[in-house]
Amino acid sequence: MNSKRQRRFELTIPSRLEEMQAVHALIAEAVKEYKLSSEMAHWIELSISESMINAIQHGNRADPAKQATLRISSSGDAIEIIVEDEGKGFTLDKIADPTDKANLLKPSGRGILIIRSFMDEVDLSFRKGGGCRLRMVKKLRGVDGAHPK
Amino acid sequence: MSIVINPRRLDDVVILDLSGRITMGEGTLVIRDRIKKLLQAGDQKFLLNLADVDYIDSSGLGELVTSFTTVRNQGGQLKLLNLTRRVQDLLQITKLLTVFEVFNNEAEAIKTMK
């Protein structure tokens, strides 16, 4: 089993949606470095993008004075992604189910569902000194590969 | 690449050939504005061809839902055509396949909109 840690990627941005271009550029760099398949790269990009937009919009309330940080690393067996914001936080289990009939026609609220459907591990914790830390892990070897659950 | 919309018309159905990414921001506003203008001009039947859309985020999905409800509330129809596997997966995960009528054949889709 290859568990050699590979190059890490990190980016801290002010909470503006315009900064998402830099996020996508960093993801592209990481995907290339880790030699991910097109399918895996797609779902990794989508999951990171959803979590960074959440951090900017919901966590930091789009306040450019607050920062969002993205860290991507790979052990060769799995990719770990960490997204941190300076917001008040939320509880994953208290998010309304967007697949509930009452919520199906709502325009928002599907980001975490998408992330959870693809990632193997998703956990949220509060950071010392304030803010939230979302940690996601995607195994690179396994039965289902890149396909969402 | 942001979204590009090429509209064409078959009888009273407006087919919007979309290509690119439907994402938070510009990608979603372009669709909203185009459908709004067509509704104002009197169009009521829309078929969104997503064959060349390989990436939609949750905001993009939200925009499809908003467009669907806007059109439906005005007595119209909005259906989807030619989903890529990834977009199909997203609609399945979010159960939006229970909301939208989806087709793989344009002529069949149009037949259902008469």
Q: How far is Cα B89 from Cα B79, in angstroms, rounded to an integer?
A: 17
- The minimum CA-CA distance between B10 and chain A, rounded to whole Å, is 28
A11 touches chain B (CB under 8 A): no
Nearest in space to A72 (alpha carbons), one of A39, A33, A37: A33
First-to-last alpha carbon distance for chain A, in angstroms, is 24
A146 touches chain B (CB under 8 A): no
Q: What stretches in chain B show pLDDT beneath 50?
A: none
What token pair was written down for B20?
């690119």
Mean pLDDT of A96-103: 96
Q: Report the pLDDT value the prediction gives residue A147, as an integer from 0 to 100.
A: 67
> What is the extent of the structural domain holding B39?
4-111
What pTM did the predictor assign? 0.91
pLDDT for A8 beyond 50: yes
Which CATH number does the domain housing residue B75 bear?
3.30.750.24
**Which residues lie closer than 8 Å to A62 by C-beta, 6 or more apart?**
A15, A16, A17, A56
pLDDT digits (tens, 9 = 90+) for B31-47: 989 999 999 999 999 99
Q: Report the pLDDT value the prediction gives residue A145, as an integer from 0 to 100.
A: 57
Q: How far is Cα A13 from Cα A41, in angstroms, rounded to an integer?
A: 22
Whether A17 and B25 have beta carbons less than 8 Å apart is answered as: yes
Mean pLDDT of A137-148: 74
**Domain-by-domain residue ranges, chain A?**
9-139
Please state, as a whole number, how many other Cβ atoms lie within 10 Å of the Cβ of residue A119. 22
- The minimum CA-CA distance between B61 and chain A, rounded to whole Å, is 8
Contact residues, chain A, for B57 at CB < 8 Å: 46, 49-50, 53, 111, 114
What token pair was written down for A72?
């991507």
Of A53, A99, A107, Cβ closest to residue B94: A99
pLDDT for A96 beyond 90: yes
Q: How far is Cα A139 from Cα A77, in angstroms, rounded to an integer?
A: 6
**Where does the pLDDT of residue A128 fall: very low under 50, low under 70, confident under 90, or very high at 90 and above?**
confident
pLDDT for A6 beyond 90: no
Domain count, chain B: 1
Q: Which of residues 94-113 of A touch B (CB under 8 A)?
A: 98-99, 104-111, 113
**Where does the pLDDT of residue A104 fall: very low under 50, low under 70, confident under 90, or very high at 90 and above?**
very high
SS3 B23: coil
Q: Please give the full DSSP string across chain A, using - where no structure is assigned.
A: --------EEEEEES-GGGHHHHHHHHHHHHHHTT--HHHHHHHHHHHHHHHHHIIIIISTT-TTSEEEEEEEE-SSEEEEEEE-SS----GGGS--TTSTTTTT-SS--HHHHHHHH-SEEEEEEPTTS-EEEEEEEESSSSSTTS--
**Where does the pLDDT of residue A1 fall: very low under 50, low under 70, confident under 90, or very high at 90 and above?**
very low
| Pairing mode, strands B77-81 and B45-56 | parallel
CB pair distance less than 8 Å for B57 and A147: no
Q: Which residue has the higher pLDDT, A143 or A131?
A: A131
Whether A68 and A52 have beta carbons less than 8 Å apart is answered as: yes
The average confidence (pLDDT) of chain A is: 91
Please give the CATH topology (third level) of the domain spanning A9-139. Heat Shock Protein 90 (3.30.565)
pLDDT for A44 beyond 60: yes
Q: How far is Cα B51 from Cα B43, in angstroms, rounded to an integer?
A: 22
Whether A60 and A66 have beta carbons less than 8 Å apart is answered as: yes
